Homo-oligomer: A and B are copies of this chain.
């Protein structure tokens, strides 16, 4: 059985290696799990010994099939719990991340299956991110980020990249939730900020923010 910490490292490696094959660098990994590079080196050695990642010194780490499955199970739990917190307990979507970080490490197959059933097998979490199924299958959303939309184009918001409370609060204020339609009405080349239409409301979005909004044309 994996420890709390091992699960966190695997999850971080999964998220950092995005489309799978690029190696994850020790420094990036350390930053992601909020430790020092030396600690990350120790852990990747341990994970490699357990065949959860492949690791080459000074080069980086990649998840093995086994490691990827474990990572996806942690992500499945995280996203199901987030969904539960919002849908059943009435949390705001910017309040759930921290608690889900704890709940994702509860070890009980039965619990997560029952929770999935209770929530009626949701496909995405409150931030629009896809929830892996019990076999670790996850539907990859080939979404582009909002800052790549041209003037005049419309799109549907599918997800949010960053789950920090401050960003989510801001998105909440302007009404930028997954499922909503967004139309770009002006682009400012200087700072790449945009003006958009959301629910008939004219909103101003900085580049920092639009980068983190994923959309589907």
- One digit per residue, 1 when the CB lies within 8 angstroms of any chain B CB and 0 when it does not, for chain A 77-101 equals 0000000010011110001001100
Q: Find chain B residues with CB under 8 A from A117 CB.
A: 89
Q: Find chain B residues with CB under 8 A from A114 CB.
A: 85, 89-91
Do the beta carbons of B106 and A102 come within 8 Å of each other?
yes
Task: Report how many copies the assembly holds.
Answer: 2
CA distance A115 to B88 in the complex (A): 9
CA distance A115 to B113 in the complex (A): 19
CA distance A103 to B77 in the complex (A): 14
Which B-chain residue is minimally distant from A114 (CB atoms)? B89
- One digit per residue, 1 when the CB lies within 8 angstroms of any chain B CB and 0 when it does not, for chain A 134-157 equals 000000000000000000000000
- Tell me which residues from 99 to 113 in chain A have a Cβ below 8 Å from any Cβ of chain B: 99, 102-103, 106-108, 110-111
Q: Find chain B residues with CB under 8 A from A103 CB.
A: 103, 106
Do the beta carbons of B90 and A99 come within 8 Å of each other?
no
| A-B complex: 6 closest residue pairs judged by Cβ atoms | A89-B114, A99-B108, A102-B106, A99-B111, A89-B118, A103-B106
Q: Which of B88, B102, B106 interacts with A99 by CB under 8 Å?
A: B106
Minimal beta-carbon separation of A200 from chain B (angstroms): 33
Q: Which of B89, B91, B106, B115 interacts with A89 by CB under 8 Å?
A: B115
CA distance A90 to B117 in the complex (A): 10
Q: Find chain B residues with CB under 8 A from A115 CB.
A: 89
Minimal beta-carbon separation of A101 from chain B (angstroms): 10
CA distance A102 to B108 in the complex (A): 9
Do the beta carbons of A107 and B102 come within 8 Å of each other?
yes
Q: Find chain B residues with CB under 8 A from A85 CB.
A: 111, 114
Minimal beta-carbon separation of A131 from chain B (angstroms): 17
Q: Find chain B residues with CB under 8 A from A91 CB.
A: 110, 114
